[in-house]
């Protein structure tokens, strides 16, 4: 199965974090839509850094597209390229690579995808993962469909092509009713911008207004960059069909279910300046630190974040514990993902190429390191070594999420379960493995309290998708189960 999730990242030292799925963005009713889309993609770059694509439509030239590997700033800021993307409507997508290496054929996997139908063309960009994609792909191929990519998202285009409905939105409804998993979709026809979220609302999608035009985006931070006004979130299970002159039409093509938004968006994936479910992501992460300090206090001299994702939680931990906050680790902001050829000697330098310890602040101190998660544990070990080399007396890890013990099948790159440290070790065993003075994770109830659920997690009907922590998958990963993946039995 392939999705917006990643193979091992291009950078040799970024392999110990979960990789976000994708970012989608669309706009209608503005002059030079491609420039707005490029700015939105730039704001969503944290959700995918391997490749990006834009498709626009103008009556004079029809649908035009550009797909490139690399960062938005390196590709979609050149006037010579942007001039080839005219029109007042457009959509874009940023992603991590999925299948194969970068090369002549891998560009086929870069979204948005385009299809020509009897009633006109349509383009689609998808954030998430279709958990029954392999079964659907086999069925479609047996019926004569010819796939151009290895992406699960292309299944949507083929399902739309086989629908007998009379217009694109209705064909999209038909297609999306066939798929399982998590998805936020941004699509476009010649005149309409379409946004859809799956019935559980696992992946985010928001609606904004810019001048006389409309915007769809994975996060609110991308509205800010173009000066758009946040209108509302697209509801779980909702489809919005937007035209420049007709406004927003809302439909609910799926069975209404209790939402299960991805809780890890609050922990790590979304930008801290975004708003999720009416809550500031930054404030939620600060509150995670507060809850962590209440659950796992320790005598120490300094609270230090592992940059940059651990910073809000470290601020909250320091404020609640009364222990001073300090930037004991500095990130090299100018180290690109293709820094130098990673020879063995360079690989051995590990995280030191990215992070450096402030020895004057660390030396002689009992240090609490606050990080967002522990996946394989390799980076945590290297950071512990750096802190001790700088003269720290003690090293205590406090983690702003519960132990990541289960893989995600909803569009997030997660190692196989056997490679997740928490899948094979208890908290005490992980502490010994990392060789630190103490290690504590926030509890699942504590995380829920931090995101606004005062009573913690409802065990009978969880309020969020937390499968990576609990092993309770709100949508069965059909393709993986068919391959033998053992889903956790219901208690």
In a domain, 244, yes or no: yes
172 pLDDT exceeds 90? yes
How far does Cα 228 stand from its chain's mean position?
22
369 pLDDT exceeds 50? yes
Q: Are residues 126 and 244 in the same domain?
A: yes
Question: Which pLDDT score is estimated for 474?
Answer: 94
The CA-atom distances, in angstroms, between 404 and each of 30, 340, 452, 460, 472 are 43, 31, 21, 21, 12
In a domain, 266, yes or no: no
The model's pLDDT over 128-163, given as tens digits with 9 standing for 90+, comes to 999 999 999 999 999 999 998 888 889 999 999 999
Q: Are residues 171 and 87 in the same domain?
A: yes
In a domain, 379, yes or no: yes
In a domain, 265, yes or no: no
The model's pLDDT over 199-238, given as tens digits with 9 standing for 90+, comes to 999 999 999 999 999 999 999 999 999 999 999 999 999 9
8 Å CB contact between 330 and 355: yes
Q: Are residues 452 and 378 in the same domain?
A: yes
Q: Are residues 234 and 162 in the same domain?
A: yes
Q: How far apart are CA 343 and CA 426, in angstroms?
A: 35
Question: Which pLDDT score is estimated for 15?
Answer: 52
Domains: count for the chain: 2
Question: Which pLDDT score is estimated for 17?
Answer: 61
pLDDT band at 195 (very low <50, low <70, confident <90, very high): very high
In a domain, 268, yes or no: no
Given 260, 295, 321, the domain boundary residue is: 260
How many Cβ atoms from other residues are within 10 Å of residue 475's Cβ? 20
In sequence order, which residues have a C-beta less than 8 Å from that of residue 392 and are 6 or more positions away?
A: 362, 363, 364, 365, 366, 367
Q: Are residues 232 and 83 in the same domain?
A: yes
CATH number at residue 356: 3.40.50.2020
pLDDT band at 379 (very low <50, low <70, confident <90, very high): confident
Q: Are residues 295 and 409 in the same domain?
A: yes
| Nearest CA among 279, 206, 218 for reference residue 48 | 218
The model's pLDDT over 263-304, given as tens digits with 9 standing for 90+, comes to 999 999 999 999 999 999 999 999 999 999 999 999 999 999
Which residues constitute the domain of residue 411?
Answer: 281-332+341-459
Which of the pair, 5 or 160, is modelled with greater confidence? 160
In a domain, 396, yes or no: yes
Q: Are residues 308 and 184 in the same domain?
A: no
The CA-atom distances, in angstroms, between 19 and each of 70, 99, 129, 294 are 16, 15, 13, 29
Mean pLDDT of 154-181: 94
Tokens 């690109």: give the residue. 336
Q: Are residues 144 and 35 in the same domain?
A: yes
In a domain, 13, yes or no: no
Question: Which pLDDT score is estimated for 90?
Answer: 98
The model's pLDDT over 96-106, given as tens digits with 9 standing for 90+, comes to 754 334 444 47
The model's pLDDT over 409-452, given as tens digits with 9 standing for 90+, comes to 997 777 788 889 999 999 999 999 999 999 999 999 999 999 99
Measure the CA dihedral 150/156/160/162, to 10°.
50
End-to-end CA distance of the chain: 28
Q: The whole model's pTM is what?
A: 0.90
pLDDT band at 480 (very low <50, low <70, confident <90, very high): confident
pLDDT band at 72 (very low <50, low <70, confident <90, very high): very high
317 pLDDT exceeds 90? yes
Question: Which pLDDT score is estimated for 19?
Answer: 56
The model's pLDDT over 17-71, given as tens digits with 9 standing for 90+, comes to 665 569 999 999 999 999 999 999 999 999 998 999 999 999 999 999 999 999 9
Question: Which pLDDT score is estimated for 274?
Answer: 98
Question: Which pLDDT score is estimated for 413?
Answer: 73
pLDDT band at 485 (very low <50, low <70, confident <90, very high): confident
335 pLDDT exceeds 60? no
Q: Are residues 400 and 371 in the same domain?
A: yes
Q: Are residues 252 and 288 in the same domain?
A: no
Q: Is 22 a catalytic residue?
A: yes
8 Å CB contact between 242 and 225: no
| Pairing verdict, β 438-441 and 464-465 | unpaired
Cis, peptide link before residue 147, omega less than 30° from 0:
no
Q: How far apart are CA 182 and CA 96, in angstroms?
A: 17
Question: Which pLDDT score is estimated for 484?
Answer: 84
Give the active site residue among 22, 262, 465, 468. Answer: 22
pLDDT band at 338 (very low <50, low <70, confident <90, very high): very low
Question: Which pLDDT score is estimated for 428?
Answer: 96
Mean pLDDT of 162-191: 94
Q: Are residues 238 and 110 in the same domain?
A: yes
- Average pLDDT score, the chain: 89
CATH number at residue 52: 3.60.20.10
In a domain, 478, yes or no: no
Q: Are residues 129 and 34 in the same domain?
A: yes
Burial of 99 (0-12, 13-18, 19+ CB in 10 A): middle
């Amino acid at each position: 199965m392939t999705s917006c999730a990643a193979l091992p990242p291009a950078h040799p030292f970024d392999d110990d974090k979960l990789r976000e799925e994708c970012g989608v963005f669309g706009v209608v009713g503005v002059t030079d839509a491609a420039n707005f889309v490029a700015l939105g993609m730039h704001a969503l770059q944290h959700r995918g850094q391997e490749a990006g694509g834009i498709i626009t439509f103008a009556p004079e030239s029809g649908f035009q597209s550009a797909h490139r590997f690399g960062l938005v700033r390196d590709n979609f800021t050149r006037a010579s390229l942007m001039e080839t993307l005219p029109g007042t409507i457009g959509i874009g997508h940023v992603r991590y690579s999925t299948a194969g290496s970068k090369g002549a054929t891998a560009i086929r996997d870069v979204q948005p995808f385009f299809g020509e139908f009897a009633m006109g063309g349509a383009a689609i960009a998808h954030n998430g993962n279709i958990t029954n994609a392999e079964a659907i792909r086999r069925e479609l191929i047996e019926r004569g469909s010819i796939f151009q990519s290895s992406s699960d998202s292309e299944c949507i285009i083929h399902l739309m092509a086989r629908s007998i409905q009379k217009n694109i939105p209705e064909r999209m409804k038909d297609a999306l009713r066939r798929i399982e998993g998590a998805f936020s979709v941004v699509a476009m026809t010649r005149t309409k911008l379409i946004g859809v979220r799956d019935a559980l609302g696992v992946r985010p999608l928001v609606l904004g207004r810019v001048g006389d035009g409309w915007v769809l985006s994975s996060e609110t931070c991308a509205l800010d960059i173009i000066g758009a006004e946040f209108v509302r979130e697209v509801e779980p299970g909702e489809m919005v069909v937007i035209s420049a002159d007709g406004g927003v039409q809302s439909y609910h093509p799926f069975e209404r279910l209790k939402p299960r938004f991805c809780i890890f968006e609050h922990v790590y994936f979304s930008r801290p300046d975004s708003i999720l479910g009416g809550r500031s992501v930054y404030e939620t992460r600060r509150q995670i630190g507060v809850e962590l300090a209440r659950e796992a206090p320790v005598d120490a001299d300094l609270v230090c974040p592992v940059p940059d994702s651990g910073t809000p939680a470290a601020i909250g931990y320091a404020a609640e514990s009364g222990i001073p906050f300090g930037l004991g680790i500095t990130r090299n902001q100018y180290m690109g993902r293709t820094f130098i050829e990673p020879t063995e000697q360079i690989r051995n330098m590990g995280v030191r190429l990215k992070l450096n310890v402030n020895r004057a602040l660390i030396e002689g101190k009992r240090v609490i390191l606050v990080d967002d998660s522990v996946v394989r544990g390799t980076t945590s070990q290297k950071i512990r070594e750096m802190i001790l080399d700088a003269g720290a007396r003690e090293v205590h890890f406090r983690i702003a999420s519960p132990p990541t013990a289960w893989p995600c099948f909803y569009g997030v790159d997660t190692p196989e379960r056997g490679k997740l440290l928490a899948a094979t070790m208890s908290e005490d065993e992980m502490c010994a493995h990392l060789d630190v003075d103490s290690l504590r994770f926030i509890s699942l109830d504590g995380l829920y309290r931090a995101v606004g659920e005062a009573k913690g997690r409802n065990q009978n009907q969880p309020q969020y998708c937390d499968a990576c922590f609990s092993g309770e998958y709100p949508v069965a990963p059909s393709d993986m189960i068919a391959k033998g993946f053992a889903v956790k039995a219901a208690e």
